[in-house]
Structure 1
Amino acid sequence: MTKDVIALTERMPDAPTLLAALHAGGPDLHLTATDDGAVVHLCTPAGRPLVSVESPLLVHVPGEAERLLGPDVTPPQLPYWWTEARASTAIPTAEPLAGSVCGRLAMLLGGTTWPREAAGTAVVETAEADEAVTATPLADGALPAVDVLTDSTAVVLADRPVLGLTTWLSDVLRTTAASGRALHLVTPPDVRLTLPLRTALAGAPNRWVVANPQGGYYDGLSGAELSWQDGTFSPTASPAKVADAFARGARPTAARRLTVALRTVRSPAADLVLGTALETAWRHLTGAPPAGWGTAEPINLPWPPRQLTDLARSRSPEPTHALVVGAPDRPAVATHRTTRTTAGVAEEITLTVGYPSADQVPLDALEPLAAELVDAHGLTTMLTTLTAGGTDLTLAPVLTAPPSPLTFTLGPRDIGTIGLTHARRPPLTMKPVRLGAPSAPALHYPLGDGTDPTAWTALQTLTAHLKAGTPTGGARI
């Protein structure tokens, strides 16, 4: 398991300051670096990793420390530097060593640490570390913070109130996928995931594994009881049995989460700017633009979409993944994926916005939003759903009510493939609204108001109707 300690400082941790902080373990420890120097490791003389320190990150986005570390943290004024240290709990002295590294950074540079009680400045004696643990040499490219590595699975044990899709976890996901392994993230039951990390772990064979307080383990997304079998976590029975701790469900809440999943396709023109469809949706649903974006959490860059465009151009033809957040008083988070296709530049966006109560959800904004996306941003599809959930936009490992569909919009290209006459006559009570230019119309289908239990049936009926009119290789419904 690793224990995280974070330094939030007013000034940048330069090389002399980092060296002073890294001497918290005395002169006998060794330094190594991975990821082209982005991560520095404090190791025992025998090579056993004690503490890993990531490159400092300059945060310009308000509310990120509070969103990821909790309301008790008091970061310096923006912009501030975020430096993460991870201690291996295999060696008892590693955790106080990480606290001393971050405590020294905060003392020298001004700022604070998280958690506060972990901070220190004293030299931590680590002479017994090599005797306490038999070191196993790390394979080339292995990440020291991976706790268990088998032929099929990399296991990471983590324990902090909110786990986000950090740079480190993103690297672990990429490394495990490249090696043909699954990532199993093991946490206590009181840990919550951010929506970006939940999305990253949702695809098989990755898992969120929760230590069941009643004994054993269960899947944090499905609730299936799990056990360690043949070097991986697998369901204990077939069909899978749902753990009681998961089935108790989430606490009732008046808060609601509106999710908009949309796809646009535009021509790869020289003046193309990415992110404009996302900003349009953000303004319609919150009254303000996004606050910041980045490729991992914490999200550190101010919003301007031009930088997102530059990043995507530099990575093309490979896809680009980005994360976006709103201001603290307008809670919202989105994932944004850009890909090159035969039809042009595709943007796949999932935006979730939190509202304190159902009556504050702007249902009347969905049709105007769809209309603007069709007219100006090359919308191909958009599905909106509503579900109960806190405005912190995190996910607990408990059963939650499924989202309820609100609307579905199909863009002009797919309407042209299906045929307007067929597409506008689904066997539904609510009829579609015609959007866009008369020569290239889109259709916006109302499905429910968030309380109608038949909305999923309506969506399934609509999907089947549209597919029935789709030639082979036509619309993506």
Structure 2
Amino acid sequence: MTKDVIALTPEMPDLPTLLAGLYAGGPDIGVNTTADGAVVQLCAPDGRPLVSVETPLLVQVPGETTRLLGHAVEEEPVWWTEARASTAVAEAARLAGSFAGRLATVLGGTVWPPEAATTDVIPLTTDISAIPAPAIAAPAVDVLTDTTAVVIQDRPLIAMTSWLSDALRTAAGSDRALQIVTPPTARLTLPTRTALRGLPNRWVVQDPEHGYYDGLSGAVLHWKNGTFTPVQDEQGATRVAEAFAPAPETGDRQLILTLRTRHPADENLVLGRALETAFRHLTGTPPAGWSTAEPVNLPWSTRQLTDLARARAPRPTWLVAVGHPDRPALATLRVLRTPAGVEEDITLALGYGGDETPPLDVIEELATVLDAEHGLVTLLTSLRAARRDLTVPPRLEAPPTPVAFTLGNAEADAVGRTRAGHPPLVPVPKRLGPGTNPALHYSLGDGADPGTWSVFQRLLRHLKGEMKS
């Protein structure tokens, strides 16, 4: 298990400051680097890593420390220096706190969690030889088996940090599952939930009264053959944990847009414009920032994210975008090259309180613009009863309910205009845009009736009958 400590400073930790932090353990602590120099490790005399420190990150997006840590800072932008301490050695967590405390003291910053901060020298008194040497060098992975990489986290909000992103890539590259173990008080950000949605990846909740269960499905789990797997009864059925009960109704809702765009592979192509258009229509402003992990640290720039995707092609590129602090808005964007061109898969979620009205009245206008200007393939709009802050608790949550579905003009042509325009048991679609080949917009409901899912599924089955792409 690891313990996370973060130094938040108005100035970049320079070499002398980092050295002052690295001396937190006194002269007996060694220093090593890994991940091509991106991670510095404080090590015991035998080379065992005690604390892993990531390269400082300049967070230029307002509100990220509050969103992810509940810890506001007075000055923004802020340098985020994260340390992970192994709990296999008793002194390691205090060593991480001393490292972060020294950075914050020298540079006038703060430490999260505040109680971890110290500037004391932490001598190593544990008998290292009595502790089994770790079998892995990856700083984010706590347990590695033939089938599974386990990361144990104790922070309140589990974000898709570069640590976790690296662990996910490493696990996938070796055909292993990634399983994150947390206490029942933890929540996930939407990017982390998305990453763990597909089995065999799991969110494993360790409840002191109920044991282990899956934080997304509620299935009771146990450790068997090197992985967390569901407990089955004699009939082979999976039990649901008692703790996985619905959260109390608060009136909070989330508006979720799932859309795909397709563009010719052109050297002048600029990506991210469809997402920016959606943000502008629904929040009044473009995204505040983007990044390849959380915290989201870069100011919004379609040109920069396009350059990154082009440099990584033909490999896919996965990105996160966040809105301004006054309106919870978070998106994931996956760019991939296909035989048909360059596609963007986007999921955008926006949070609303019980006294706020989601702007469903602008969806048709947004769909029209996406189709006319940004190569819309499909757009699904849905509502769900869920937290305004867009975080995911380990509780039963109702699935989103479809509100509308839009078929872009090229996709409507591929399906066939006659078929797409006359679905059975579904309202006739509205034509969006001028000309003879408009996009088709299917109104499905107001998001209050879960039965709308069956209507939407019938529509999809009808459309896929002669789908050509």
- Normalized against structure 2, the TM-score is what? 0.97
Report deviation, 1:428.
Answer: 2.9
Residues 384-419 of structure 1, C-alpha deviations (whole Å, 9 max, x = no match): 110011221100011011111000111122211221
Report deviation, 1:318.
Answer: 1.0
Cα distance between partner residues in 1 of 2:11 and 2:466? 61
- Structure 1 residue 410 and structure 2 residue 407: aligned? yes
CA contact (8 A) 1:113 1:119 kept: yes
- What secondary structure is seen at the aligned counterpart in 1 of 2:205? strand
Report deviation, 1:15.
Answer: 1.4
Matched to 1:311, the amino acid is L
- Structure 1 residue 13 and structure 2 residue 34: aligned? no
1:66-105 equivalent positions in 2, closer than 5 A: 66-70=66-70, 73-105=71-103
Relative distance call for 1:174 and 1:411 in structure 2 (3 A) is same
Cα distance between partner residues in 2 of 1:254 and 1:405? 18
- What secondary structure is seen at the aligned counterpart in 2 of 1:452? coil
- What secondary structure is seen at the aligned counterpart in 1 of 2:73? coil
Match of 2:107 among 96, 106, 109: 109
Report deviation, 1:437.
Answer: 4.2
- Matched residue, 1:65: 65
Match of 1:277 among 274, 287, 292: 274
Matched to 1:305, the amino acid is T
- Structure 1 residue 368 and structure 2 residue 373: aligned? no
- Structure 1 residue 451 and structure 2 residue 448: aligned? yes
Give the paired residue count. Answer: 466
- Matched residue, 1:220: 215
CA contact (8 A) 1:227 1:234 kept: yes
Match of 2:328 among 321, 328, 331: 331
Matched to 2:115, the amino acid is E
- Structure 1 residue 123 and structure 2 residue 121: aligned? yes
1:73-472 equivalent positions in 2, closer than 5 A: 73-136=71-134, 138-139=135-136, 142-237=137-232, 238-246=236-244, 248-357=245-354, 360-470=357-467
Identity across the alignment (%): 59
Report deviation, 1:270.
Answer: 2.3
Q: Mind listing any 5+ residue stretches in structure 2 that lack a counterpart?
A: none
CA contact (8 A) 2:54 2:81 kept: yes
Cα distance between partner residues in 1 of 2:43 and 2:140? 13
Matched to 1:235, the amino acid is P
Residues 218-239 of structure 1, C-alpha deviations (whole Å, 9 max, x = no match): 0111110000111111111032
CA contact (8 A) 1:256 1:358 kept: no
Cα distance between partner residues in 2 of 1:377 and 1:56? 36
Cα distance between partner residues in 2 of 1:102 and 1:94? 12
Matched to 1:452, the amino acid is D
Cα distance between partner residues in 2 of 1:277 and 1:52? 38
Mean Cα deviation higher: 150-159 or 96-105: 150-159
Cα distance between partner residues in 2 of 1:437 and 1:270? 28
Report deviation, 1:176.
Answer: 1.1
CA contact (8 A) 2:85 2:92 kept: yes
- Matched residue, 2:46: 46
Matched to 1:58, the amino acid is L
Matched to 2:79, the amino acid is W
- Matched residue, 1:25: 25
CA contact (8 A) 1:25 1:97 kept: yes
Cα distance between partner residues in 1 of 2:116 and 2:356? 43
Cα distance between partner residues in 1 of 2:340 and 2:145? 41
- What secondary structure is seen at the aligned counterpart in 2 of 1:264? strand
Cα distance between partner residues in 2 of 1:259 and 1:453? 15
Matched to 1:8, the amino acid is L
Residues 5-57 of structure 1, C-alpha deviations (whole Å, 9 max, x = no match): 10000110111211110100011111111111111111101122111100000
Cα distance between partner residues in 1 of 2:108 and 2:130? 35
Mean Cα deviation higher: 96-105 or 407-416: 407-416
Cα distance between partner residues in 2 of 1:434 and 1:34? 56
Report deviation, 1:268.
Answer: 2.0
Matched to 2:318, the amino acid is H
CA contact (8 A) 1:337 1:347 kept: yes
CA contact (8 A) 1:291 1:325 kept: yes
Residues 165-210 of structure 1, C-alpha deviations (whole Å, 9 max, x = no match): 0001000111111111111100000000000001011112111000
CA contact (8 A) 1:154 1:184 kept: yes
Cα distance between partner residues in 2 of 1:309 and 1:457? 38
CA contact (8 A) 2:426 2:459 kept: no
Cα distance between partner residues in 1 of 2:374 and 2:14? 43
Cα distance between partner residues in 2 of 1:267 and 1:366? 25
Cα distance between partner residues in 2 of 1:352 and 1:424? 29
Superposition misfits of 4+ residues, deviation over 4 angstroms: none
Matched to 1:5, the amino acid is V
Cα distance between partner residues in 2 of 1:129 and 1:362? 61
Cα distance between partner residues in 2 of 1:436 and 1:296? 36
Report deviation, 1:253.
Answer: 1.5
Report deviation, 1:358.
Answer: 7.0
Residues 134-165 of structure 1, C-alpha deviations (whole Å, 9 max, x = no match): 324x45xx314422111111111110110100
- What secondary structure is seen at the aligned counterpart in 2 of 1:440? coil
- What secondary structure is seen at the aligned counterpart in 2 of 1:172? helix
Mean Cα deviation higher: 209-218 or 458-467: 209-218
Report deviation, 1:452.
Answer: 2.1
